[in-house]
Amino acid sequence: MDIKVDEKSVIVFDLDDTLYNEIDYLRSAYSAIAMELAPKQWKKLFVQMFSMYRNKENVFEYLTTTFGVEKQMLINLYRNHQPAIVPFEGVLPLLKHIKDKGGKLGIITDGRSKTQRAKLSALAVVDYFDTIVISEELGSEKPDQKNYRAIEEAFPNHRYCYIADNIRKDFLAPNTLGWDSIGLIDNGLNIHSDAFRYFTEDHLPKTFVKNIGEIAVT
């Protein structure tokens, strides 16, 4: 689909499961934890951990019992490791095209500041964005309008479009505020897979795309 971009446009993205698959962050964190706990056989431990996760077993409880470590130590490793993640195909060209057209770029994401900024750094996209709104830094989470109004305050009297994936919380505020919106269809790997529960007009984006590469700048 085409989106019109000029100097009065602000194109805002979600982060997790929009610019990359969040499951890859989990895999990256599990790898870091496995390397810390079993450096000589970390791949074997990783396979076990990931299998337990996919079967809804308590991975951290297993690790604390088996390796005699504190849960907080595991949480710290999870949150503070250096992520090994890459953006979806088409993300970097789209960001560049928006900037080339004079558009502004923003991020609205929920999570801890250090963790979310580490993800953005690992994806090599930080320099594209004019403003980054992270829930921990602002003190509120989506769908609170405060997070979206922070974008409007940074760029008043512009047109706004939000590109995101989570129907439960991503589009309620943009719909109320009169933003355009684009929903990224779950590729089968999204952390949040309960979209069917929220198929109401106030939750849904204006349109859907299968992948970021479908979005063209005009």
pLDDT at 193: 87
CATH number at residue 11: 3.40.50.1000
Tell me, yes or no, whether 72 and 106 share the same domain.
no
47 and 74 belong to one structural domain: yes
Q: How far is CA 4 from CA 89, 157, 178, in A?
A: 21, 16, 16
- Distance from C-alpha of 25 to C-alpha of 82, rounded to nearest angstrom: 10
What domain range is 212 assigned to? 2-21+86-217
d(CA 63, CA 127): 38
Euclidean distance between CA atoms 91 and 40, whole angstroms: 36
Pair (13, 31) in one structural domain: no
pLDDT at 191: 86
* Cβ proximity of 123 and 20 under 8 Å: yes
Three-class DSSP labels, the chain:
CEECCCCCEEEEECCECCCECHHHHHHHHHHHHHHHHCCCCHHHHHHHHHHHHHCCCCHHHHHHHHHCCCHHHHHHHHHHCCCCCCCCCCHHHHHHHHHHCCCEEEEEECCCHHHHHHHHHHCCCHHHCCEEEEHHHHCCCCCCHHHHHHHHHHCCCCEEEEEECCCCCCCHHHHHHCCEEEEECCCCCCCCCCHHHHCCCCCCCCEEECCHHHCEEC
Which residues of the chain, if any, have pLDDT below 70?
Answer: none
Q: Are 8 and 159 contacting, i.e. CB atoms less than 8 angstroms apart?
A: yes
155 plus 111 within the same structural domain: yes
Helix crossing, 59-67 with 42-54: angle to 10°?
140
- Does residue 58 sit in the same domain as residue 105? no
What pLDDT score was predicted for residue 192? 85
Instruction: State pTM to two decimals.
Output: 0.95
* 117, 66: one domain: no
Q: Are residues 167 and 207 in the same domain?
A: yes
Number of domains in the chain: 2
**What is the sign of the dihedral through the CA atoms of 118, 120, 124 and 128?**
negative
Q: Are residues 129 and 37 in the same domain?
A: no
Residue ending a domain, among 50, 80, 110, is 80
